[in-house]
Structures are given as structure tokens and as C-alpha cells.
Structure 1
Amino acid sequence: MPIALDFLTRLISFDSVSRNSNEPISGCVAAWLEELGFDVEHTTYVDARGVRKCNLVARRDPQFPHNGNHPTNGDQSAAGSQVAPSGLGEPGGLAYFCHTDTVTADRWTGPGNDPFQAVVENGRVYGRGSCDMKGSLSAFLDATQSITAESQTHPLWIVCTADEEVGFEGAQHLADHSSAFAQLAAADPVSIIGEPTRLHVIHAHKGIVGMRIRSQGKAAHSSTEMGVNANVAMVPMLQTLLDIHERCCSDQTLRNDAFDPPTLTWNFGVSDDMKTVNIVPDHSVAWASMRTMPGVDGREFVELVQRRAEELGLAFDLYSGGDPMHTDADAPFVKQLCGIAEAYIGPNTPEAVCYATDACALGKLNRRVVCGPGSIEQAHTADEFIEIDQLEQGTRFYADAIRHWCC
């Protein structure tokens, strides 16, 4: 069994569902990274529900032998200097990004009946987060421990965020408040977000924008005229939301054919929470979201909904979301990463996907891609798993990438 499996078994044991603090799992990962020779920065914040969350930025610089015969590249004069590897013409170093939170596991149906107890069965590892994305982190840790700091010529970063599953809040806090991340962004290394892609290289993905509209009425017995039905003011807003949906489906100027589907995929709903017909509804809440794309940000629709809410006397809130990610598919480092992946998945080209990742909040990095072991089809499922074969291939793939950009 690979060392990655040992890492993964331990990581699954942490109940790091987003509603909980991720400090315990972060502390465990930080201890491992320090054993591997990384300097680790912890940044913490308190989320909207008063729960303490933690981000990690870890960096390991080259540790050259003290005999003076250390490797050099161009004008490199000190460990950690950002220089171009010979022949590449780009800065060196590699950064790996992951999140340590998971979605809920309240309806778990996997073997063992405990989502936080790893079960190995039929060549798979079952457990909440096994695929999204503790398996990826385990593979990268395994790859990292196989490569010494003495063999490095460029820095290696590992970044672990909180709250990816609830709006990229950890990554956004990291980008806004972490001095270690600011240094990473200034170096602008090749940055791999390790979400599950079965090792296919993703050069672009959609962003997401969400909003909530609230109508306030007055409850009363439905046989009287003393109440104010909150839905009365909401109905015209629903028509606006429907009009936007129809335009997103039909307007050819709102498409980006790199994606499937190539539209903003406008989605919306409404509820007044009423369970009986003899009470006048005193509130009604609608929501809407869309998947933005490079060149199609949908800002006009946000402005339209907000303006219509004001006209109808409704409250409007904009959810935290994120911008789409786009990296030139012809960038040299993208082609190099596809070349590394070829040993594991065969001939391949960079792809665009419709889901979103922490890359939405990492716009300060210019060389972002998404690539990791496991399949997005297993993420968030009631019996989530990752194949051991994917763990092993992911470990070797990441080790190859580390050697290419850091050694």
C-alpha cells in the first residue's frame, strides 16, 4: 500500500465538514509539513457562524550541501531565488493548493457506516473527503516526502485552505491577509489546484455568482384582511428571474463554446416556508445563481435584479462567489504539464470545465491550472471514494511535476 494511503486514512478521520472548525486537521497537516522541512504560516479567521477556521501556507526552499558545490541556474545566488530553469524561460518553483473542508456526510451510505473512518474495499478508499480532496493532498504529501530539499533548486509551496465548499471563503481570506501568500503570488510559480480531474489538466473553469431576494409581509389568519402576503411583491421578481433564465438560454452573445454547457446556466428558486393554507405568508425568499465564464460575467443581470428589487421594495443580498479561471491553453507550462500527464492518461490536451474551485479567489496567480487524482463524479456523493490506483498515479504524477519545476 502506498504511503499516500496512510496519509489519507488519517485525514479522513477528521470531521472537517465546513460547518466545523478545520483547525484539528490543519494542525495535523502542519506537523507533517514541518517534519518534511517546510516553514508553515498559519492564518486564522472566524466565519459568519462564529467558527474558527485556519489556512496554511508552507514553503520549502532548496537546502544546498555545504561543500560549495551546489547547483546553479543563471544568476541564482541563494536558496529560494526565483530564476528560470535552463531552457524554460519562466520562473521556477511549484505551488500546490488544496482545501481541508468537506461537504456534509449526513446521508452517508458507504461501507462501514462511518464517513470519517476510511474503509478500503475493492481497490477503493471510501470516506468523506477521500476524493474531494483529501486524496489529492495525500498524494502530494507522498510525492513531497520522496524528494529531498537537497535535491531542490527552486521553492516548493503547499497551501491548504478552509471553506472551499462554502464560497471559497478561506482562499479569499488567504489572498487578502496572508503575507506568505503575498510572497508566493509575487514569485508566481506554476500553481496546481489539486481538485479531482483524473489527472487531466484543466486550464479554464467557470466562476459563480449568487444572490438572495427577500420579501417581508405580515402574518395573519387567511380569512381576514389583516395580513400582508409577502409573495405578492415577490411574483413580479420571479418573472424577472424567469426572463433572465430564458435570455441566458437563447442569447448567442452570452455563450462561451469552450464550455459544455456554453451558457451562464442561470438557476433560481423561491420559498415562503408555509406548511398550511390558513396563514398569510409573512416572508418569501428567492435566490438566483449563475456560472460566469471568461468574457461573459453576467454583471448586467446582477444589476437588473438589484434594480428590480429596489423598485419592488425587496431586500437584495449578493453572495460571496468567485471569478472564472482562465489560463492560456498554449502556455508553455500547460503543455509541459500535459506532457507529464501523458505517462498516466495517454495523449491529452488542456480542458475547460463548468465547476468552480479555489482558483476563483486566486486571481493574483497568473499560472493556475487544476489537476488531481480521482474523479469529480465521486465528489460529494453519499459513498464517496477514490481508487487506490488513482492515489498511486497521482503520487507519481505530482513527484514528476515537483522534479520538473523544483529540481
Structure 2
Amino acid sequence: MLNALDNLTRLISFDSVSKNSNEPISDYVSSLLEELNFEVERTTYMDARGVLKCNLLACRRPLSSHPKLDETQSSSASDEETSPKNAPGGLAYFCHTDTVTADRWTGPGGDPFSAIVLDGRVYGRGACDMKGSLVAFLDAARKTPHEEQKLPLWIACTADEEVGFEGARFLTENSNAYTELVAADPVSIIGEPTMLHVIHAHKGICGMQIRSQGHAAHSSTDMGVNANVAMVPMLQTLLEIHNRCLTDEALRNDAFDPPTLTWNFGVSDGMKTVNIVPDHSNAWASMRTMPGVDGKDIIEQVKRRADELGLTFTLYSGGDPMHTDAEAPFIREFCELASTYIGPNSPEAVCYATDACAFGQLQHRVVCGPGSISQAHTTDEFIEIEQLETGIRFYEDTIRRWCC
């Protein structure tokens, strides 16, 4: 098996931007997992554009174990620090193999899918978010002798995280291996870049679209119906919601920064000329939901106003916020393991969302990985080699703690 740096270079070479199929990179990762004695389950689906997408869920069982976990290895969905009966059943690692677009790449070398190693960094699309993290965990699994493993180790690689957690959602609904994983309820790491800081909570996301339909005509006549006319009062409602989100104490959670729903909205009629009456106008809105603040009343307000104005309302599938008790024993242990690498630390809450939104059945979720979120989605994305190496050692510690 190639070393971590070589593997990262190979993974970056796959153009797995979300609009494309992630089957080629999934094939490669599957071969790496099989080399490490993992049993690999693949689930596939066609996305809304008819593009094939792949999820992988692999499990490496202890050499002496039977095929299914018994009750003593399963969690009682409680974080009580008591007997092994109530301990999580092994360790699971979750990542995604898709990336955001690379159309505006400005990194060294000029090719986002040809990794460049420069000044202690690896540049390339996905280097930080989150192919570097996957490589680190694979290398950690390689360095943990299979014969020392006492509990199962899972690795999940999903599609379409960057476009609405579609792969993760499909996995939860169609994977037999995921059903087994849920029954075990292991400590579950979502390996997004956090500089190895321990994230116990993050916001969710909700999106909606409002469409106004008009009738196109030459602007010098009165034969058209300007779609923007009906949209203007809708925009006023969206603005009122924006102002309310900034000031209403009931819509705040001070564990986050910013502590608001961060309401965002926009509008476009797509017109590029002034002599045509716009025949359609589309507005959109999104908000970052939080534990205890789901924004359902806001969704109903927008839908009700759209109905009053004769507009079409569409609610998009998003994701629920993630929240794990910051005082949970396994969270405290995570912070202790991380202290070797980042010093004294406490569990944190962040405002971005991850695939954890779709994994609400798992009771021991935590987000923690190498690299900085400030590098995710940038036009010159990179991961520090030192972070990659540190991530390998940290992940090896977690595997030994919860599997050995």
C-alpha cells in the first residue's frame, strides 16, 4: 500500500466534483480498504441529473469475532460511563469523496487535480476537504495491527455531501451494513477538517425557493405580465424575517457564533435586456438551524405568504443540526486524546454542517479531523503535511482506544 502522501496525490487526481460520478475514486478507495482486510459494501444511485453515485461502507471485524455484534458490544444509546455493555460498539469513521467545483482554481501548478507539494503543503482540490482526512484514517488503520483489534472498525465514504448530504441520506435508507452499524452505535467520527479540535455540535441547514410566473412580451407593450411585481411583496417578507432573525431571542442559541439562524436570501429574474418583460422571477432563502431552534414557524410563514401571492413554494431537503452532550464520557476522552496534539481543549460548536446531519440515529457523533476549515472550498486549497501526519497519529490513537 502506498504511503499517505502518495495516496493523497492519487485521490486528488480523481475529478470527483459533485457534478461528476464518484465511481472511479470509490473503486480506488475500495481497493485500499480490501488491502486492509475490510469487507466493503457498495450502494449506488443515480442523482437528479442521471449521474451514477457511489457510497462505500466497510467494516474490519476482529479476527476472532463472529459476523454480527452481540448485545454486550452494542450501546444502550446512553453515554453512561458504566460497564462494557453500555460502551459504544467500536469505532466508525465517515468522510465524503465528492468535492466542490474547481473552475476558478488559482493554486500552484494550475491544475486542481494534479497535487503539488510546496513549502510543507499539499495543494489540490479536496486536499483538505476531505481527501486528506480519509488518507490519514486509512493510514491509521494500516498502522493498527488487525490481530490487536477487539471491536469492529467501520469506514464510510459518501457521495454528494457538498450538494445536500444526498449520499449520506441514501446510505441510511438503503445500506444493510449501516443498519448493523446503527445497532452497534459506535463512536462515530465525521472527519471534516477541524485542526483536530473536538466538535460536539454544529448547525443544520434548510433551503427553499419561491417562483413567480409571468408572461414575456416586448416591454413597449402592455401585453406582458412582469413576474417581479408579485415577487416584490414576497421579498419584503423575506426581509422582515431577516430582521427578526437578528433580534428575536427565541431564535438564538448562544453556543454558536454567530448565535442566530443566519437567514440568507436572494432573487433573480435572469433577464439580461431591458426590452423584454420578465416572465419568471425566482427567490431563494436558507437558514442555519440549531438545536432547539428549528425555524419551522419561519418555513410556514414563507409558504403561507407565497400561497397568498399565488407563488410556487418549494422546500429543499437539508439537514438537522448535530448535537452531542459536551459532557458525554467519550467526548471527554476525545478531548484528552487531542490534548497530546493541540494542548488543553474543550468541545466546541461550529456553524457549518456535515454529513452528521443525516446520521441522527447514531448517539456518539463527533466531528474531528486534520486540516483547517478555512482552507475548504478555497481556490488554492491545501493541507499542511504536518497536519496530515498529526492526523494519522491522532486517528491511530482513536482506533486503539475504541477498537483495541
TM-score, with length taken from structure 2 = 0.96
Deviation at 1:116, TM superposition (A): 0.4
Distance 1:303 1:8, change over 3 A: same
TM-superposed deviation, 1:186 = 1.1
Instruction: Tell me the residue number matched to 1:58.
Output: 58
Deviation digits for residues 224-269 of structure 1 (CA, Å, limit 9, x no counterpart): 1000000010001001101110100000111000000000000000
> How large is the RMSD of aligned CA atoms in angstroms?
1.5
2:356 maps to what in 1? 359
2:241 corresponds, among 235, 240, 244, to 244
The answer to whether the 8 Å contact 1:82/1:93 transfers is no
Residue by residue over 1:79-124, the C-alpha shift from the partner in whole angstroms, topping out at 9 and shown as x without a partner, is: 8546369966513300000000000000101011110011100000
The counterpart of 2:292, out of the listed 291, 295, 307, is 295
- Which residue number in structure 1 is paired with residue 391 of structure 2? 394
What is the percent sequence identity of the aligned residues?
A: 73
Does 2:340 match 1:340?
Answer: no
Matched residues, number: 395
Matched residues in 2 for 1:121 and 1:354: separation? 31
Asked if residue 202 in structure 1 is aligned to residue 191 in structure 2, the reply is: no
Q: Residue 130 of structure 1 aligns to which amino acid in structure 2?
A: A
2:249 aligned partner, one-letter code: Q
Give the alignment partner of residue 260 of structure 1, picking from 237, 257, 260.
257
- SS of corresponding position for 2:386: helix
Q: Distance in 2 between matches of 1:171 and 1:370?
A: 15
> Partner of 1:158: helix, strand, or coil?
strand
**Counterpart-to-counterpart distance in 2, 1:92 and 1:224:** 71
Q: Which amino acid aligns with 2:343?
A: G
Contact 2:23 2:52 in 1 (8 A): yes
Q: Structure 2: which amino acid aligns with 1:344?
A: Y
Contact 2:69 2:184 (C-alpha < 8 Å) held by counterparts: no
Question: Would you identify which runs of 4 or more consecutive aligned residues in structure 1 move more than 3 Å?
Answer: 76-89
- The answer as to whether partners of 2:88 and 2:364 remain within 8 angstroms in 1 is no
Q: Is the 8 A contact 2:253 2:259 kept in 1?
A: yes
Task: Give the counterpart letter for 1:29 in structure 2.
Answer: V
Q: CA deviation at 1:310?
A: 1.0
Partner of 2:25: 25
Instruction: Report the CA distance shift for 1:273/1:376 in structure 2 as closer, same or farther (over 3 A).
Output: same
1:126 alignment partner, one of 119, 123, 126 = 123
Q: Determine which of 192, 209, 213 is the counterpart of 1:212.
A: 209
Corresponding residue for residue 103 of structure 2 = 106
Q: Find out whether 1:155 has 2:163 as its counterpart.
A: no
Matched residues in 2 for 1:349 and 1:168: separation? Answer: 28
Q: In 2, Cα distance between the equivalents of 1:340 and 1:268?
A: 41
> Are 2:162 and 1:165 aligned?
yes
Is the deviation greater in 322-331 or in 309-318? 309-318
Aligned partners of 1:172 and 1:148: how far apart in 2? 32
Aligned to 2:284, what secondary structure does the other structure show?
Answer: strand
The CA deviation at 1:300 is 0.5
Distance 2:22 2:362 in 1: 25
Q: Which structure 2 residues correspond to residues 21-100 of structure 1 after superposition, within 5 A?
A: 21-64=21-64, 80-81=69-70, 83=72, 89-100=86-97
Counterpart-to-counterpart distance in 2, 1:259 and 1:334? 18
**SS of match in other structure, 2:53:** strand
- CA contact 2:172–2:178 (8 Å) conserved in 1: yes
Aligned to 2:133: 136
Q: Residue 224 of structure 1 aligns to which amino acid in structure 2?
A: T
Please give the alpha-carbon distance, in whole angstroms, between the structure 1 residues aligned to 2:67 and 2:21. 38
Q: Tell me which amino acid in the other structure corresponds to 2:323.
A: H
What is the deviation of 1:77?
A: 8.0
Equivalent AA in structure 1 for residue 292 of structure 2? G
CA distance in 1, matches of 2:289, 2:68: 41
Gaps of 5+ in 2: 74-80
Query: Contact 1:79 / 1:154 at 8 angstroms: preserved in 2?
Result: no
Contact 1:322 1:360 in 2 (8 A): yes
**Residue identity opposite 1:32 in structure 2:** L
**In 2, distance between residues paired with 1:32 and 1:297?**
40
Paired residue type of 2:306: A
User: Is the 8 Å Cα contact of residues 12 and 127 (structure 2) preserved in structure 1?
Assistant: yes
Is structure 2 residue 175 aligned with structure 1 residue 178? yes
Q: Which amino acid aligns with 1:157?
A: W
Give the distance between the partners of 2:282 and 2:67, measured in 1 at CA. 58
| 3-state DSSP of counterpart to 1:211 | strand
Q: How far 1:148 sits from its partner (Å)?
A: 2.1
- The whole-number CA distance in structure 2 between the counterparts of 1:321 and 1:117 is 32
For 1:306-325, list aligned pairs within 5 A.
306-325=303-322
| Counterpart residue type for residue 109 of structure 1 | T
2:234–2:306 contact (8 Å) kept in structure 1:
yes
Against the structure 1 CA distance between its residues 222 and 156, is the aligned structure 2 distance closer, same or farther, given a 3 Å change threshold?
Answer: same
In the alignment, structure 1 segments of 5+ residues that lack a partner are: 65-75
Correspondence for 1:70: none
